[in-house]
Amino acid sequence: MLRTLRREKAASRPVKIIQFGEGNFLRAFVDWQIDILNERKGLDAGVVVVRPKTRSEMPLLDTQDGLYTTLLRGIDEAGEPVRQFRKITCVQHEIDLEFAFDEFLALAHNPDVRFIFSNTTEAGIAVNDADRFDDRPPATFPGKMTRLLYERFKHFAGAPEKGVFLLPCELIDHNGKALKAAVRHFAELWALDKSFLDWLDAHCTFCTTLVDRIVPGYPRDEIAAIETELGYHDQFLVTAEYFHLFVIEGPAFVGEELKLADSGLNVRIVDDATPYKKRKVGILNGGHTTMVPVAILAGLKAVGEAVDDPDVGNFLLRALNDEIIPVLPLPRDQLNAFAADVLRRFRNPFIYHRLESIALNSWSKYEARVLPQLIAYTDKFGTLPARLVTALAATMVLYRGGKITLQDDEATLTWFADAWKRVDTGEWQLADLVKTWLANGDVWKGRDLNTIPHLTNAVMASIARIQANGIRSELQAIAGKAPAAV
């Protein structure tokens, strides 16, 4: 029988970090990095994990003394497959707020605490007018955070040196600014001391962040073999990809406090995270959204096989190199390096990423991830980017149905079912379908895409060719073609 993973001696690292969220991502991203900084740079930081919402049916990390294992798998910079285990030792304790609110507030009294990380999902940084100061705990994550910060402010009498760095990892734009605004909301709602707001402004640093790592989580289908290899049972083992990126918008002394210099971690302290967000959305997310409809129409099932397919892979590569990267706001060498990382990640043999799952809500994704590059390219070069146009046309064909189980809002699915039926019965011409959809302000955030020169005709022509000759014929036709002049 395998032994349970436990510490051989009592936990001893001083608690310098409070972490809201016990989920797979933070444990395979933030805690993994803290563990490396402890080992390589002498950070000597312990972590206390706080469950933002009670999940009493799930065991606490304390059942393994805070220990767990990460397994990183992927393709390294040399193109070689890698597989790396690490036993994470930085977590000292986990608190369930539903049952230990006083213990939670007592964390604010710890003079060593310097950092607060969080990942409470995209919906976590939200406010209401119902939370009360005396709630134990408040319902919202920002309400809980406000109580903790106010407790610290009061305990240390507003001492400047007891301010903290807050690094939210929720996947929303300007997450640091959003969290600070949410904390101020509750401070004002609860009529807390104005000096507390002054302390927040002067001595607490709310950093906007961008996080990037695919974390599949607990390897249920492989756990028996993995535990046999490790020689112990680990109910909290978490798998993740090899790649990681942590962009922190904040002052340089954040990196100095974390001892990031020469750590080997892919962490960037920057003045503005926006270009890095655009890079990720444009290349990683936009690459997915551009490739998926053509790959599905080509009969493919997963990201890895799509990237390695001669037609689809070339289509993606040319879309990235020729149409997306040229309009993104970072130096070309940095964009090329990130794109190379993305392609390695797409080829990761340890992650089976189904195209159908990425096709969820394709239109909102196209609007956010691809349309900005299509417009920027057209404005900059006076030409239509052929591959981004093809992706737009292919998505319309995909929404004709019959290839996958389409998942989108009901209004969109109903519209396409009706529109394609009208085309098939002759009530509409293809032009009616294309023009009406491109004019849909609800989808395109008030914009009528028919006003983009020649886009309507280009989309109609691409749809007609795809339906007549198949997607592979269309991909081969544009394989060596520069975008057509407007």
One domain, residues 260 and 396 = no
Percent of the chain with pLDDT over 90: 92
One domain, residues 193 and 311 = no
Where is the domain boundary, 245, 270, 295?
Answer: 270
What is the three-class DSSP state of 94?
Answer: strand
344 Cβ neighbours under 8 A, 6+ residues apart? 74, 75, 76, 77, 79, 243
CATH of the domain at 191: 3.40.50.720
Q: What's the rounded Cα separation, in Å, for the pair 13 and 43? A: 10
Task: State how many domains the chain has.
Answer: 2
Residue 486: is its pLDDT beyond 80? no
Residue 7 exposure: Cα atoms within 13 Å on the Cβ side:
18
482 part of a folded domain: no
* pLDDT at position 8: 78
One domain, residues 265 and 316 = no
Q: What's the rounded Cα separation, in Å, for the pair 388 and 315? A: 10
One domain, residues 138 and 164 = yes
One domain, residues 298 and 222 = no
- Beta carbons of 388 and 370 less than 8 angstroms apart: yes
486 part of a folded domain: no
CA 83 to chain centre: 22
Query: In terms of residue numbers, what domain contains 372?
Result: 274-477
One domain, residues 145 and 290 = no
Q: What's the rounded Cα separation, in Å, for the pair 276 and 328? A: 9
Structure tokens at 60: 């606490």
- Beta carbons of 24 and 235 less than 8 angstroms apart: no
Q: What's the rounded Cα separation, in Å, for the pair 43 and 45? A: 6
390 part of a folded domain: yes
One domain, residues 285 and 336 = yes
One domain, residues 304 and 260 = no
Q: Is the dihedral of CA 39, 45, 48, 52 positive or negative?
A: negative
**What value does the mean pLDDT of the chain take?**
95
pLDDT in tens, 2-46: 998 988 776 589 999 999 999 999 999 999 999 999 999 999 999
- Dihedrals phi, psi of 480, to nearest 5 degrees: -115, 15
What is the three-class DSSP state of 124?
Answer: coil
| Residues facing 211 on adjacent strands | 246
pLDDT category at 481 given cuts 50, 70, 90 is: low
362 part of a folded domain: yes
pLDDT average, residue stretch 381-397: 98
Where is the domain boundary, 270, 301, 319?
Answer: 270
One domain, residues 110 and 138 = yes
Structure tokens at 208: 């906007």
116 Cβ neighbours under 8 A, 6+ residues apart? 17, 18, 19, 20, 145, 148, 164, 165, 166, 167
Residue 53: is its pLDDT beyond 80? no
484 part of a folded domain: no
One domain, residues 237 and 295 = no
Q: What is the radius of gyration, based on Cα positions, of the chain?
A: 25
Residue 72: is its pLDDT beyond 50? yes
pLDDT in tens, 426-476: 999 999 999 999 999 999 999 999 999 999 999 999 999 999 999 999 999
In order, the DSSP letters of 178-214 are HHHHHHHHHHHHTT--HHHHHHHHHH-EE-EEEEE--
- Beta carbons of 212 and 245 less than 8 angstroms apart: yes
Q: What's the rounded Cα separation, in Å, for the pair 211 and 167? A: 11
Residue 122: is its pLDDT beyond 80? no
* pLDDT at position 56: 64
pLDDT in tens, 219-254: 999 999 999 999 999 999 999 999 999 999 999 999
483 part of a folded domain: no
* pLDDT at position 12: 80
Residue 20's H or E segment, with its range, is strand 15-20
One domain, residues 18 and 48 = yes
CA 334, 378, 358, 172: dihedral to nearest 10 degrees? 60
Where is the domain boundary, 219, 253, 270?
Answer: 270
CATH of the domain at 380: 1.10.1040.10
CA 425, 426, 430, 436: dihedral to nearest 10 degrees? -80
* pLDDT at position 485: 35
One domain, residues 369 and 328 = yes
What is the three-class DSSP state of 226?
Answer: helix
